[in-house]
A and B are shown apart, each in its own frame.
Chain A
């Protein structure tokens, strides 16, 4: 059974360029999360979708960041324009949110370097 699949695994881009990170959640899961991990802040929740609808985007740092989930099997996180301080590992995770707890399963992450 495939886990959460993220692409690209590694991305190096120049400041000002657009970056698009992609995620395929686990089939049957109804919640999708985008996290960012940095040395300074640890693991931060950026945005959370439930049934393809954004529920909480309070963690999105600024307007340069946007996320979409056009269907249950695909989501994107876009940064436009990118800046060096956006360099981090971006994790996508999914879960089935039911009535008895919420175990989240993570992808392997997209390592972004903005130079």
Chain B
């Protein structure tokens, strides 16, 4: 039973446009959400996070939105750049599980020049 789902295995976006990556979760106890970026042959790199007390967190070109009623979060990248081409993982945790991360399967983002 997947508690964190990334339903799009891949996404292709034109350079300069907005990239929107989506993530859905089923466990209402999750209170902390993270996005990681992974290049081939490298470990996942932490990108941005959001606590359940917020509905938006912004860091430069990256913004994460959280909709708790819909159990949905999204990562917006604007403007998209070629270096953003990577696999993006969504992860969630809650204090009851000692904050172990539950991972989505990842979405491969391809930025077209």
Q: How long is the Cα–Cα vector from A48 to B93 in the complex, in angstroms?
A: 14
| B43 contacts the other chain (CB 8 A) | yes
- Nearest residue in B to A50 (C-beta to C-beta)? B98
Given the contacts A101-B32, A104-B101, A91 and B49 also touching, CB distance less than 8 Å? no
Residue count of chain A within 8 Å CB distance of chain B: 24
- Nearest residue in A to B46 (C-beta to C-beta)? A103
Q: Write out the residue numbers on chain A whose beta carbons fall within 8 Å of the beta carbon of B51.
A: 100-101
Q: How long is the Cα–Cα vector from A4 to B93 in the complex, in angstroms?
A: 21
Question: B102 CB to closest chain A CB, in angstroms?
Answer: 9
Q: Write out the residue numbers on chain A whose beta carbons fall within 8 Å of the beta carbon of B32.
A: 100-102
Q: Write out the residue numbers on chain A whose beta carbons fall within 8 Å of the beta carbon of B89.
A: 43
Q: Write out the residue numbers on chain A whose beta carbons fall within 8 Å of the beta carbon of B46.
A: 103-105
Question: A105 CB to closest chain B CB, in angstroms?
Answer: 6
Main secondary structure of the interface of A (DSSP, over half): strand
Question: B48 CB to closest chain A CB, in angstroms?
Answer: 10
Q: Write out the residue numbers on chain B whose beta carbons fall within 8 Å of the beta carbon of A48.
A: 100
Query: Would you list which residues of chain B between 14 and 59 have a CB under 8 Å from chain A?
Result: 31-32, 34, 36, 41-46, 49, 51
Interface of A with B (CB < 8 Å)?
4, 42-43, 45, 48, 50, 55-56, 91, 93, 95, 97, 99-109, 111
21 A–B pairs (Cβ distance < 8 Å), ordered by A: A42-B103, A42-B105, A43-B106, A45-B100, A50-B98, A91-B43, A97-B98, A99-B95, A100-B51, A101-B51, A101-B93, A102-B32, A102-B100, A102-B101, A103-B49, A104-B46, A104-B101, A106-B45, A108-B42, A108-B43, A109-B42
